[in-house]
A and B are shown apart, each in its own frame.
Chain A
Amino acid sequence: MAEQAHAPVESLALREQFNTAEQQKESSTFGMWVFLITEVMFFGGMFLAYTVYRNTYPVVFGMASTSLTAWIGALNTAVLLCSSFTMVMAVRAAQLGRRKALIWFLILTLLLGLVFLGVKAYEWNQKFVEHHIPGAHFYFEGAAEQGPAQLFFSLYFAMTGLHALHMVVGAGILSWLLYHAVRGRFTAEYMTPVDIAGLYWHFVDIIWIFLFPLLYLIDRHMR
C-alpha cells in the first residue's frame, strides 16, 4: 500500500485487483509466459504432424524441401533476428525511460516484421506460380505419387501460415505500443506492456528459428 503513495496512480496504471505495482508487473509477465507455453503446445501439434510424415516419407519430403528457396528463407531468418535485436533495444530504451529511442526501435522492429511478411508473400506467390499450393492445381514434378508431396506443402503452408498470422498479430501489438509510446504512456516505472510484447515477439522469432531448418534445410547436403 505504501508504494502506491510514491508515484501518481495514472502513470502506474495500477489495476484495482492488484495491491502493488510490483505484483501487477510480475503477474503480467508471468501471464505472458504461461500464454507462450500454450503457444508452444499449439505449434507443437503441427510440428508433431510434420515429424510423423517426414519420418514416413523421407525422400519426397527431402525433394520438396529442396524445391524451396533456401537463401530467401535465410534472409527472412536474418530479418527476424535483427527485429528481435531491435525489440530488445526498445525494451531497454523503455526501461531507461528514453521515449525517443523507444519509438525509433519500435518503428524499426515493426518495419523489419513487415519486411518479413513481404518476403513471405513473395515466397508464397512463387509457390502459387510453381503449382505447389495444395488443392486442385497441385503438381510437384519429380514425385510419382503426389500425395506425400502435397502433404509437405500442406504442412508448409499451415505452419508458415500460422506463424505469419502470429507475426501479423505481433505487428498489431507493436503498432499499439507505438501509439502509446508516442503519447508518452510508458515510463521507466511502467513499461510492462513493452516488456511482455517483447517476450511475445521473441517467441514468434524462435518459432521461425525452428521452422526454417525443418522446412528449408532437409537433405540440402544431398544436392
Chain B
Amino acid sequence: MKIPLFPESASNFAPDVDHLLFYLVAVSVFFTVLIFASIFYFAIRYRRRSDNELPKPIHASLVLEIAWSVIPFGLTMVMFAWGANIFFKESRPPKNAMQIYVVAKQWMWKLQHMEGQREINELHIPVGRPVKLTMTSEDAIHSFFVPAFRTKQDVVPGRYSTTWFTATKPGKYHLFCAEYCGTKHSGMTGWIYAMEPQDYQAWLSGGRSFGSLAENGEKLFQDLACGNCHKADGSGRCPSLVGLYGRSVQLADGRYVNADEAYLRESILQPNAKIVAGYQPLMPTFQGQVTEEGVLELIEYIKSLAPAPAGAGTTPAEINVNPGVATAAPSNR
C-alpha cells in the first residue's frame, strides 16, 4: 500500500518551496538532535547518585549567550530571506500571464476564462504558461489553495486579490478552499487540470461558446446605459473610459490613483468614494444591479477600450468610438 507522504510538485514555485522546506528541516533536525542528545547525555552522566549531592553553581557565560543568540539569528535570517524571495515572486505576476477570473461563493468556485469559458469547481490551464487569477468573493472570506502548486491566496468580499502560478507538469491537482467559510467548507473543493498546450487549445475550442468576457461586458455596458454619460470622446458628463485601464487618474482632492481592477470595481459599486478631478459626483451606484461576474465582464470590456494599436496581452485592442452602437468584436483568439 503506497502511503503518499509528500505532495506532488507541479508549479514553478513548488521546487523552491520544497528546497526551503529541506533547509528548514535540516536546521530543525540539527537543533532537535543537539538538544535531545545533550539532555539525554547530561541527564545520564550527571544523574543523582546520592541524596546530599551539591553541584557547584555555574551561573552564566556571556560568550555562550551571545553565541547561541547570534548563530540561530543568522540561520533564521536565511529562512527569512529565502521565504521573502519566494513571496515577492508570488506577488508579481508576469505581464504576459493568462488572466482567469475567480468568483468564490458559499460553497463553490466560479472561474471564467477571458475567452468566455466558465467552469465550476474546475480550472483547465495549459502547462508552461503563467496564469494569473483575479479573485473576489460574494459572501464570506474563502481561500484558493492548490497544494501541488504551493500557492494560496485568501478571496475576500469587497476587493480583488490575485495569485499566479505556472503549471509545470500535466495532471489533475486538488483545489481546496482554505479559509473556513461555513457549513460546506470541507466540500468547497475542486480540481485544477494542467494540460499540454495543444490539449488545452482543444479543450478551449470544444464545448459551447459563451462569448468572451469583453463581449459580455460590452453588452452589459449597453444594457445599463453607461454610454449615456461615459461617452468615448469625453463629451459626456463623465470621463471617457477609452484607455482608462492602467492609467493614472487625478482625483478631486488632488490625489492620483492607478486605474486598476480594484479602482474600476469601486467606481461601479461605490462611485462617490473617489471623484475624478473636474467632474461632479453624479454617478449612481450599481450595487445590487450588477453581480461580481458582471463587474468582471465590465472591467474586461473597459480594458479592451485601448486607444493605441494592439499592445501585448490576451485581448486584442479595440477602438470603440461609439460605445452606444453595438459592434461585433472578433472572437478568434
Contacts and interface: CB of A to CB of B under 8 A. Distances in A.
B285 A144 contact: yes
A148 B266 CA distance: 13
Contacts of B284: 144
A145 B253 contact: no
A144 B271 contact: yes
A57 B274 CA distance: 9
A34 interface: no
B253 A144 contact: no
Contacts of B270: 145, 147
Contacts of B285: 144-145
Interface in A46-84: 57-60
Contacts of A143: 272
A58 B273 contact: no
B253 A59 contact: yes
A83 to B, nearest CB: 39
B281 interface: yes
A59 B271 CA distance: 13
Interface in A135-169: 143-145, 147-148
Secondary structure of the B contact surface, majority rule = loop
Contacts of B271: 144
Interface residues of A, number: 9
Contacts of A58: 253
Nearest to A143: B272
Contacts of B287: 145
A58 B252 CA distance: 12
Interface in B237-280: 253, 270-273
A188 to B, nearest CB: 49
A145 to B, nearest CB: 5
A145 B270 CA distance: 7
A148 B272 CA distance: 11
A143 B271 CA distance: 11
Contacts of A147: 270
Interface in B279-302: 281, 284-285, 287
Contacts of B281: 144
Given A144-B281, A144-B285, A145-B285, A57 B253 contact: no
Nearest to B272: A144
A148 B287 CA distance: 14
A150 B273 CA distance: 14
B183 to A, nearest CB: 27
A-B pairs, top 10 by smallest CB distance, nearest first, are A144-B272, A145-B270, A145-B285, A145-B272, A144-B281, A144-B285, A57-B273, A144-B271, A144-B284, A143-B272
15 contacts: A57-B273, A58-B253, A59-B253, A59-B272, A60-B272, A143-B272, A144-B272, A144-B281, A144-B284, A145-B270, A145-B272, A145-B285, A145-B287, A147-B270, A148-B273
Given A144-B271, A145-B272, A145-B287, 15 more contacts: A57-B273, A58-B253, A59-B253, A59-B272, A60-B272, A143-B272, A144-B272, A144-B281, A144-B284, A144-B285, A145-B270, A145-B273, A145-B285, A147-B270, A148-B273
